[in-house]
A = this chain, B = another copy of it.
């Protein structure tokens, strides 16, 4: 399968590398890592075993890749305004677009640009960070959940999941991608938000009982808002406790938004905070703590 990776950060490079190792025809659109990857390929340092790809097809412009079977979008959501420019040259007759981006609103943005029937929603539960150019550190997890955005038919999802699974990526199909997105928000909103605001890793937050309790309260606000969104089944309140225990095992982990702030980049506050707040407010659900956290992040952001 000819696949273009748009947004070759810690997520795009990691999944792209696994797909290439598994025999797929992968084309990376690169910016920061172009020189390093063109010269030396990719190095993945993974809890599942390190591996190298000495030769990688890297590009500076999508035009040089041309139409593909699948566009894998891993772009930071604050860069969504360049999606038209980056993705248009990759679109052919049967091209599908899978977005693994954070937060809400990404399928909608892509659907407006390229038509809803091409769009597949995806949620990645992945702990990875970029290292030196051409290097990715995979620290934990990695499951992808994919679901249709407008189409009812699951055949292409099954085909895609089978390709991913053959390449060693745990990929599952859901008939409620919206629920998967909200489930990820239950983790993303407190941990990305608080770590970025306080410039601390997840373990430091979890070690203080008041802060742990604040995280739980934020998660419960998100769960309550999620459960007004016409999900197939509600998210149980117990999911908050599960996520706390899951995160206890992550150790000294830096969520992506903390790294974005440390490196002077924008933070994904619109997709991860403002869009969910809007979705909640539209259905009459207030999220006081989530809103306060969004406001504080915007106040310290670049």
Residues of chain A having any CB pair with chain B under 8 Å: 194, 197-198, 200, 204-205, 208, 210-211, 213-214, 217, 288-289, 291-296, 298-300
Contacts and interface: CB of A to CB of B under 8 A. Distances in A.
Q: Which of A200, A204, A294, A296 has the most CB of B within 10 A?
A: A296
Contact of A210 (B198, B211, B213, B298): B298
A204 B291 CA distance: 19
A194 B292 CA distance: 11
Contact of A300 (B198, B213, B289, B295): B198
Contacts of A293: 292
A289 B290 CA distance: 10
A298 B208 contact: yes
A198 B299 contact: yes
A45 B222 CA distance: 50
Interface of A is mostly: helix
Contacts of A205: 299
Given A198-B300, A300-B198, A292 B295 contact: no
B299 A211 contact: yes
Given A194-B296, A208-B295, A288-B289, 12 more contacts: A198-B300, A200-B299, A208-B298, A208-B299, A210-B295, A210-B299, A211-B299, A214-B296, A217-B288, A292-B292, A292-B293, A296-B296
18 contacts: A194-B296, A197-B296, A198-B299, A204-B299, A205-B299, A210-B295, A210-B298, A210-B299, A211-B295, A211-B299, A213-B295, A214-B295, A214-B296, A288-B288, A288-B289, A289-B292, A292-B292, A296-B296
Contacts of A300: 198
Nearest to A207: B299
A194 B205 CA distance: 19
A213 B213 CA distance: 25
A270 to B, nearest CB: 13
A296 B210 CA distance: 9
Nearest to A300: B198
Closest A-B pairs by Cβ, 9 of them: A210-B295, A214-B295, A288-B288, A211-B299, A289-B292, A198-B299, A211-B295, A198-B300, A292-B292
Nearest to A293: B292
